[in-house]
Amino acid sequence: MTEKDTPDSAKSSIWGGRFSSGPSQLMQDINASIDYDKRLYRQDIAGSRAHASMLAACGIISESDRDAIHGGLDTIGAEIAAGDFTFSAALEDIHMNIESRLAELIGEPARRLHTARSRNDQVATDFRLWVRELIDSVDEALAGLQAVLLRRAEEHADTLMPGFTHLQTAQPVTFGFHLMAYVEMFGRDRGRFADARARLNESPLGAAALAGTGFPTDRQMTAELLGFDRPMANAMDAVSDRDFALEFLSSAAICAVHMSRLAEEMVIWCSDRFGFIALSDAFTTGSSIMPQKRNPDAAELVRAKPGRIIGALNGLLIVLKGLPLAYGKDMQEDKEGVFDAADALGIALAATTGMVADMTARPENMRAALEQGFPTATDLADYLVRDLGLPFREAHHVSGSIVAIAAGKGCDLDALSLEEMQQVEPRITAAVMDILSCEAAVAMRRSFGGTAPDEVRARIAEARARYGIGAA
């Protein structure tokens, strides 16, 4: 690679004082972050507005300078929103792009804005504000996903299906019960994001480069103006901390892993072998060669998204590991991973919500699947304990022997005659016939959080109250 000449050999108007020429093209290429950090423009403008208000309130700049700055920032916000803003890589990042445009628009007052501030506290503030908004939108999306799951769970509170362990038929459950497991998982995700938000919500603004400032500033005021709970207590920590990004990414990684489990179940459920659900044309694609195909691509992509998100978490942990305080340019590498993870999480949440709403259950196929795998063998063992007083381990053995007979005959447990069962355990009575059906097995599991339809309905009602999600 050859190092090209200085792009325009222009010194930086922002920091060029002690330089005699501009950076090389390569320096600009590795250094510029504007291509991605322009996503912070609204937050950068909000931070600058608050800073200017505070500088004026503390008598550090005049009120007319503040008004000029506010007016200019409003114009810039409108220009960027309308796509009328020319971003320049020579100006490195969003902070300097905006400040430079502000100088073009309003002249001298723009040059007073950076008093008692540094790009270090500025970027930390912008990024916190951005992640805070992101967390709020993720919470809304998660609540929407829970709402759809609750509706589908209600609809299928009585729909029997096999519950699996090791992906082998275990015990009968209801489809509504199964879906409610995800309502809980996404509820914990919301809790994790909320915890992260609470810790995030302190203001770095006014920490300046790392040591605070000699100007008589009011960090409390800027914190309040930006909706932060308080200013961060240590200026060095304020500019070097990225815990909020790590906490967002780790919460996002766990949430994405949850979605990937549901997505994988959907892939299994809609396979020809299972046929428990069907996804419509809206969430499937065809094959370019096999005309019969309907592929669950959206579910597969949701299943894959944790790759990026976990990758972003790993990436940022590695950037921060061993990084000495305070700011190092390494920290500019904090944003792309978070932006990419945010996009991946957002699309995965939307697609998952869409698929859960879209899927059509096939209760007949779920019921048919219960004819295999002896899903009520545990109920037989429980009956032997309850009605005959056998110790559970012995009951397990007896039930296993009876399953072996049914397996040998190729029939289900409730297709065996009482006599066949009595050959294994003579004390078994006709009452056993009542507990071998899947309907009975499900209805019986009324323990708190169990799969009995009435219990599932009670938990749905309680979850609706807990999450403030009313019935549609």
Please choose, out of 324-332, 346-354, 372-380, 443-451, the segment that lies near ligand ARG by the rule CB under 6 A.
324-332
Q: Are residues 324 and 234 in contact, defined by beta-carbon separation less than 8 angstroms?
A: no
In the bound state with ligand ARG, the residue whose beta carbon lies nearer, of 296 and 315, is: 315
In the bound state with ligand ARG, the residue whose beta carbon lies nearer, of 14 and 444, is: 14
Among 44, 65, 93, 99, which residue sits at the site for ligand ARG (rule: CB under 6 A)?
93
Here the tokens at position 448 are: 């708190």
| Contact pattern from residue 332 through residue 371 relative to ligand ARG, giving x for each residue in contact according to CB under 6 A and a dash for the rest | x---------------------------------------
CA distance 456 to 88: 58
Interface with ligand ARG, residue 319, by CB under 6 A: no
- Of 129, 124, 175, 131, give the one whose Cα is nearest residue 149: 175
CA distance 69 to 71: 5
Set 20, 166, 288, 447: catalytic member? 166
**Distance, first Cα to last Cα, the chain:** 61
CA distance 448 to 450: 5
Here the tokens at position 338 are: 């978070």
Interface with ligand ARG, residue 327, by CB under 6 A: yes
Among 23, 28, 33, 352, which residue sits at the site for ligand ARG (rule: CB under 6 A)?
33
User: Is 70 among the residues known to form the active site?
Assistant: no
Please choose, out of 118-126, 220-228, 292-300, 375-383, the segment that lies near ligand ARG by the rule CB under 6 A.
118-126
In the bound state with ligand ARG, the residue whose beta carbon lies nearer, of 118 and 159, is: 118
Q: Are residues 331 and 240 in contact, defined by beta-carbon separation less than 8 angstroms?
A: yes
Among 50, 61, 123, 226, which residue sits at the site for ligand ARG (rule: CB under 6 A)?
123
Interface with ligand ARG, residue 331, by CB under 6 A: yes
In the bound state with ligand ARG, the residue whose beta carbon lies nearer, of 66 and 95, is: 95
CA distance 112 to 450: 65
Interface with ligand ARG, residue 235, by CB under 6 A: no
Q: Are residues 353 and 144 in contact, defined by beta-carbon separation less than 8 angstroms?
A: yes
Contacts for 171 with CB less than 8 Å, ≥ 6 apart: 162, 163, 375, 376, 378, 379, 441, 451
Size of the site for ligand ARG (CB under 6 A): 10
User: Is 156 among the residues known to form the active site?
Assistant: no
Here the tokens at position 254 are: 């766990």
List of residues contacting ligand ARG (CB under 6 A): 33, 37, 93, 119-120, 123, 327, 329, 331-332
List residues with catalytic annotation: 166, 287
